[in-house]
Chain A
Amino acid sequence: MGLEAYRYDIEMCLRCSSCKWIDPMWSRSKRYNKICPISSHFHFDAYSCQGLMDISLSLLDHEISYTDQLADILYHCTLCGACDVMCKRTLDIERLLILEELRRELVKHRLSPQKPQSRLTQAIGRSHNLYGAAHEKRFLWMAGLRKASLTAKAKMVYFVGCTSSYRHPEIAQATIGLLNAAGIEFTVMGPSEWCCGNPLLRYGLLDEAKKVMDHNLEVLQDFEADTVITSCAECYHMWKVDYPRQHEKKTLGYQALHITQLVADWIKGGTLKFKHPVELTVTYHDSCRLGRLSEPHEPWSGRRLEYGKLYPPKIWRRGTEGVYAPPREILQSIPGLRFVEMERVRENGFCCGAGGGVKGVYNDFALATGIERLTEAKDTGAQVLASSCPFCKWNFQEAASLKEIDLKIMDVVEIAAQAI
């Protein structure tokens, strides 16, 4: 769209700093009151949505140019969307879309971090996964399953994703176990599955992302499936929000579901029962793209009238309908499990630190952010930090190991699989 298309939104920043803090109503301590990783770490206002809005306006007015420093700021941002949701508590303006647009501009100006970018494009272009690992090994994890019942012409496709395939196969294995236990007919894309495109899109590499997205959509059509299940928050967001957004649609005719949504429904409906107690104290981390950012894309075109009114009215994604309840319902249904909440939950969740390409470009910062979240988890007295995303798990595990934080990191499906 170009940054100019967001001029109105950019000008509307009133500098209130709400983008840096959680919702005051949900504040439970001074210690855990901040919501923006870059702001709380770097302090300078440029490292915040508010600062980036001021910078964007200066870019639009040609007061400054795109520079390496701007790239440094922007690529430290995990694009967690906390600023977007906090701003939209009162204002009808976009924030995250502007940050993503700025990334695309940096790519155009060849100012995005070139080495990581090149590694990423080569890895996905050649091996169809962000790790550059052999594509043939993408489904090697299935060999570890005692039993996996797939149905050839199923209407439900389990999209495994790169991180579960190559880094955390236990999540994919647990997901399959739950699907089988619930008697669901499903299949997987197998060698046809490519990276969902999330790292490319977040990086600002729109054209490259479109190629892999189009491929995956074609594969889905070939399977004649009407439902995509994922166990990764990033893949979920891609299928649910970004794929339709690229086609300027709210939906592309398939339903995208996260495994936790299904499992929670099965528990309520009696299709799945938890028989074995899991004697653990567990707290839950809301992954950004499963939580506050998971409302569907709402296409809009129209014009702006007097007083900034939009015609026709736009539906704003404010984070209200995120997937917050299902993972909690699962954990709270498991016998013997003691569930405790962190202070920053749901739409106020503090990012794991890995998203937005940060893990690939600024791993130190990703780990520092992860440590902040782990500290919060530890303060609950929990033995386990559960999440619903292998990317979150990966960063948390690495951070926990670095700082020797005594906290087990697990996915919700892993815990649920122990209980069935």
Chain B
Amino acid sequence: MARIKEAKKVLKAIVGEKNFSDDPIVCQAYSRGGYGKFFWDRGRKVPGCVVLPGSTQEVQSIVKVANRYRMPFIPIGTFFISLCVPTEPNTIMVDMKRMDQLVIDEENMLALVEPYVTYTELVTEAMKVGLYTSAPSCGAQVSVLANHLNQGMGQLVHRVGYANRRVLAAEWVLPNGEILKTGSAALLEDYFWGEGPGPDLRGLMRGWFGHYGGMGIVTKMAVKLFHLPFRGIPEQMGISPRTAFKLPEDRFKWFVLYYPDSIKAVDAMYQIGHAEIGAVVVRIPFIWRYISQAKSREDFWEQWEKHRPSEGEVTPSMVRVLLCGFTSKEQLEYEERVLRDIAKETGSEIREATPFSSGHVFKLGISNNPAVPAGFFGVTKYAFDSFDHARRALQETKDLKKRVIPPFVDDREESGWMQSYDMGHIGYGEFFSYYDRSMTDLFEEYQEASIRHDIGMRAFPSAHFPQYEHILGPAMMNYDRIMREVGETFDPLHISNPPRMAPTRRIKRNNRQRGEDHGNKKSA
């Protein structure tokens, strides 16, 4: 229609002809999910166009055009998480690939990143000056900025904390096109400080689990970096697919603590947190021993069928701990003594583990190995509270799991991944479900049942599932109403990745208000 044609003309003028495309083939490449494919991208639409902005000013102009012509827009980084698939016609995909500037401030231990800087790039450059951050478990190929906005889970978070603690100042193009600078950037051309002035707007910007582009576009962000006990790129080893890098052996050591069940494992994880030692503290599901070593899917199944626990047998708990002598060799020695004491007190067998996978916690290169058993995977139980809660939430999933196993892969797991954040202040837990493409519908049912189950046991299911906000909202203090108010204040036209910021919002199009709520049920 004429309105859309005109808008596209304006967008082309903003970014330049070669950074604009509305070709159906080009747009097709932005219409599907990745992780979460076939169910998180239900109702997908092919976008109206794709733009590649090169600056904050271009981003602002694009957002203003979107507002003027009432076209939805979605900012994307590496687009691994599929909750950014367009669901409205004529969506403008704002692909941030040209905005990839990275500046590392060694003295102040921070990095200023634009949206298309990946963790691989950041950690590589940071290591050269003796700094690092935690690469997320979804892989080091993802966007630093997007990941800090939305999640920020990686194994090194035991020490460096969840991403919400690592965001400093930011430059933010709001859904209405205004530019807001937070923290020190509001006063100075310097991004070193994130708090205030006034209310801490990082809560609005990312909250606990982010908004997937539902609150405009962050075009710059400073993120904390942390001290490493060496400078330079570590020695790199191996040829694909078995590659790694070697960390200094006098400063890094891996241990595994073996427990017959998760009760003692959790006890140990708490104690390690209390003692404030370690760089990584994670309970790994037994099945992962075979996933991570598998040479192929068939190899995985051969090994798994040989070694998996019998039905009904409690899976052993392995807690992997990375100790690091950040300050000195003596610190490493001290932490090892403390860890061995904890192991003794909690009755575990402790063994020094192979350092081969050290590189992966700094620059995880294999983000897709949950796909090894069956091709598709999804997290169906999140716990993001305390270790005790994580353990209970995961264990009480047994009956729920029976509904889907079979046909889902039976991981014979009484617990799941449990990870320490912030020295044990947060105990994170998740269950993976491993399933085949043909079981996608069942996975969706399972996911909803899992959320209802969490609500039933008064757990705190992660707000990772905005499409379930009609269920979560009423059970969780009607938080979706706050989300809706925030959304309506900042994005009155609801064009910033609709249906984010509460799918229970009403969507306004042109000057007409739609009577029905978008997609899902009304909130209570």
**A joins B in a complex:** yes
Residue numbers in B under 8 Å from A64 (CB-CB): 24-25, 28
Q: Are A310 and B298 in touch, CB under 8 angstroms?
A: yes
Q: Are B124 and A346 in touch, CB under 8 angstroms?
A: no
Interface string of B2-31 (1 = CB under 8 A from A): 000000000000000001010111101111
Q: Are B236 and A308 in touch, CB under 8 angstroms?
A: no
Q: For B33, give its contact among A15, A55, A91, A306 (CB under 8 Å).
A: A15
| A320–B121 alpha-carbon span in the complex (Å) | 24
| One of A18-26, A147-155, A245-253 at the interface | A18-26
Q: Are B236 and A90 in touch, CB under 8 angstroms?
A: no
Residue numbers in B under 8 Å from A26 (CB-CB): 236, 243
Q: Are B25 and A25 in touch, CB under 8 angstroms?
A: no
| A147–B24 alpha-carbon span in the complex (Å) | 60
| A310–B95 alpha-carbon span in the complex (Å) | 37
Q: Are B25 and A89 in touch, CB under 8 angstroms?
A: no
Q: Are A16 and B240 in touch, CB under 8 angstroms?
A: no
The interface size bin for chain A is: 35 or more
| A14–B79 alpha-carbon span in the complex (Å) | 10
Q: Are B21 and A44 in touch, CB under 8 angstroms?
A: yes
| A189–B142 alpha-carbon span in the complex (Å) | 51
Residue numbers in B under 8 Å from A55 (CB-CB): 25, 28-29
Q: Are A319 and B98 in touch, CB under 8 angstroms?
A: no
Chain B CB within 8 A of A175 CB: no
Chain B CB within 8 A of A43 CB: yes
Q: For A306, give its contact among B50, B299, B436 (CB under 8 Å).
A: B436
| A306–B244 alpha-carbon span in the complex (Å) | 32
**Chain A: which residue is nearest B21 at the CB level?**
A44
Q: Are A15 and B37 in touch, CB under 8 angstroms?
A: yes
Q: Are A92 and B297 in touch, CB under 8 angstroms?
A: yes
| A57–B298 alpha-carbon span in the complex (Å) | 25
Q: For A15, give its contact among B24, B79, B240, B299 (CB under 8 Å).
A: B79
Smallest CB separation, B85 vs chain A (Å): 10
Given A67-B25, A69-B25, verify A25-B238 contact (CB < 8 Å): yes
Interface string of A16-37 (1 = CB under 8 A from B): 1110110111111110010000
* B residues neighboring A (CB under 8 Å): 19, 21, 23-26, 28-35, 37-38, 46, 50, 52, 78-80, 82, 95, 97-98, 102, 117-122, 124-125, 135, 138-142, 233, 236-245, 296-299, 301, 359, 363-369, 371-375, 407, 409, 434, 436-437
Chain B CB within 8 A of A85 CB: yes
Smallest CB separation, B281 vs chain A (Å): 23
Chain B CB within 8 A of A324 CB: yes
| A87–B46 alpha-carbon span in the complex (Å) | 25
**Chain B: which residue is nearest A307 at the CB level?**
B374
Residue numbers in A under 8 Å from B138 (CB-CB): 16
Given A17-B79, A18-B141, A310-B298, verify A89-B374 contact (CB < 8 Å): no
Q: For A21, give its contact among B37, B82, B118 (CB under 8 Å).
A: B118
Residue numbers in B under 8 Å from A23 (CB-CB): 240, 243, 365
Chain B CB within 8 A of A50 CB: yes
Q: A15-B35, A27-B363, A89-B366 are in contact. List 14 more A-B contacts (CB 8 A).
A: A15-B34, A15-B37, A16-B141, A18-B365, A25-B244, A28-B233, A33-B120, A54-B31, A54-B32, A55-B29, A69-B26, A308-B375, A319-B240, A346-B239
Residue numbers in B under 8 Å from A324 (CB-CB): 239
Residue numbers in B under 8 Å from A58 (CB-CB): 28, 31
| A89–B142 alpha-carbon span in the complex (Å) | 16
Chain B CB within 8 A of A313 CB: yes
**Chain A: which residue is nearest B31 at the CB level?**
A54
Residue numbers in B under 8 Å from A91 (CB-CB): 368, 371
Query: Residue among B23, B28, B80 with the most chain A CB within 10 A?
Result: B28
Q: For A33, give its contact among B52, B78, B118 (CB under 8 Å).
A: B118
Chain B CB within 8 A of A376 CB: no
Residue numbers in A under 8 Å from B372 (CB-CB): 90
Smallest CB separation, A106 vs chain B (Å): 12
**Chain A: which residue is nearest B121 at the CB level?**
A30
| A85–B239 alpha-carbon span in the complex (Å) | 11
Q: Are B375 and A44 in touch, CB under 8 angstroms?
A: no
Given A15-B80, A92-B296, A307-B373, verify A25-B121 contact (CB < 8 Å): no
Smallest CB separation, B142 vs chain A (Å): 8
Chain B CB within 8 A of A267 CB: no
Q: Are B365 and A25 in touch, CB under 8 angstroms?
A: yes
Residue numbers in A under 8 Å from B125 (CB-CB): 29-30
Q: Are A16 and B367 in touch, CB under 8 angstroms?
A: yes
16 A-B pairs whose Cβ atoms sit less than 8 Å apart in the complex: A12-B375, A15-B32, A15-B35, A15-B82, A16-B368, A24-B135, A27-B120, A28-B233, A28-B236, A55-B25, A55-B28, A57-B32, A69-B23, A89-B365, A90-B367, A90-B372
Given A13-B34, A16-B34, verify A320-B124 contact (CB < 8 Å): no
Q: Are B102 and A313 in touch, CB under 8 angstroms?
A: no
Q: Are A46 and B29 in touch, CB under 8 angstroms?
A: yes
Chain B CB within 8 A of A88 CB: yes
Residue numbers in A under 8 Å from B365 (CB-CB): 18, 23-25, 89
Smallest CB separation, A179 vs chain B (Å): 29
Residue numbers in A under 8 Å from B119 (CB-CB): 24
Residue numbers in A under 8 Å from B407 (CB-CB): 306
Q: Are A44 and B95 in touch, CB under 8 angstroms?
A: yes
Q: Are B240 and A318 in touch, CB under 8 angstroms?
A: yes
Q: Are B368 and A14 in touch, CB under 8 angstroms?
A: yes
Smallest CB separation, A60 vs chain B (Å): 12
| A313–B297 alpha-carbon span in the complex (Å) | 9
Chain B CB within 8 A of A125 CB: no
Given A16-B139, A30-B121, verify A54-B28 contact (CB < 8 Å): yes
Q: Are B296 and A316 in touch, CB under 8 angstroms?
A: yes
Given A24-B141, A306-B436, A310-B298, verify A319-B239 contact (CB < 8 Å): yes
Smallest CB separation, A183 vs chain B (Å): 33
Given A24-B364, A44-B50, verify A33-B121 contact (CB < 8 Å): yes
Q: For A70, give its contact among B25, B50, B78 (CB under 8 Å).
A: B25
Q: Are A17 and B120 in touch, CB under 8 angstroms?
A: no
| A212–B98 alpha-carbon span in the complex (Å) | 44
Closest 5 CB pairs of A and B: A15-B34, A51-B29, A313-B298, A307-B374, A24-B365
Smallest CB separation, A23 vs chain B (Å): 5
Residue numbers in A under 8 Å from B437 (CB-CB): 8, 11-12, 308
| A90–B138 alpha-carbon span in the complex (Å) | 13
Q: Are B369 and A24 in touch, CB under 8 angstroms?
A: no
Chain B CB within 8 A of A234 CB: no
Q: For B34, give its contact among A14, A29, A85, A92 (CB under 8 Å).
A: A14
Chain B CB within 8 A of A222 CB: no
Residue numbers in B under 8 Å from A67 (CB-CB): 24-25
| A286–B34 alpha-carbon span in the complex (Å) | 31
Given A90-B366, A90-B371, verify A16-B29 contact (CB < 8 Å): no
| A26–B50 alpha-carbon span in the complex (Å) | 32
| A8–B436 alpha-carbon span in the complex (Å) | 11
Residue numbers in A under 8 Å from B95 (CB-CB): 43-45
| A45–B84 alpha-carbon span in the complex (Å) | 14
| A175–B497 alpha-carbon span in the complex (Å) | 60
Residue numbers in A under 8 Å from B233 (CB-CB): 27-28
Q: Are B236 and A25 in touch, CB under 8 angstroms?
A: yes
Given A54-B31, A67-B25, A346-B239, verify A27-B297 contact (CB < 8 Å): no
**Chain A: which residue is nearest B81 at the CB level?**
A15
Chain B CB within 8 A of A101 CB: no
Interface string of A38-77 (1 = CB under 8 A from B): 0000011110101110110110000110010110010000
Q: For A25, give its contact among B80, B297, B359 (CB under 8 Å).
A: B359
Chain B CB within 8 A of A170 CB: no
